[in-house]
């Protein structure tokens, strides 16, 4: 949450091993105009998607110019840091 209480980062995990391992497969980043405290005034958002092969694609949604831009990595990334132990509840 930012200083106004808006969620600017959202994470999505998939379960790799039941109750043992999680994989971070998606991240959303929302960017708001600095100084603007509105919840509706988002300049852009970026959606990152990772797979278990190290491929990454992302899409930028530009709300000001009303367009989207797609990107993808040319080489697989080291994704070892995207795995987490399943949290204990």
Q: What is the pLDDT of residues 37-80, one digit of tens each?
A: 888 889 999 999 999 999 999 999 999 999 999 999 999 999 99
Using the Cα atoms of residue 74, residue 81, residue 52 and residue 28 in order, give the sign of their dihedral. Answer: negative
pTM of the model: 0.84
Question: Does 31 reside within a domain?
Answer: yes
Total domains in the fold of the chain:
1
Determine the structural domain holding residue 79 and report its residue range: 9-59+68-85
State the chain's mean pLDDT as an integer.
93
Cα angle vertex 75, ends 26, 68, to 5°? 50
Cα gap 54→35, rounded to integer Å: 37
pLDDT interval class at 82 (50, 70, 90): very high
């Amino acid at each position: 949450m930012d200083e106004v209480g808006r969620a600017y980062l959202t994470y999505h995990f998939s379960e790799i091993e039941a109750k043992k391992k999680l994989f971070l497969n998606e991240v959303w980043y929302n960017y708001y105009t600095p100084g603007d405290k509105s919840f509706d005034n988002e300049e852009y958002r970026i959606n990152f998607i990772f797979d278990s092969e190290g491929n990454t694609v992302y899409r930028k949604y530009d709300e000001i110019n009303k367009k989207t831009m797609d990107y993808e990595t040319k080489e697989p990334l080291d994704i070892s840091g995207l795995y987490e132990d399943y949290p204990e509840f």
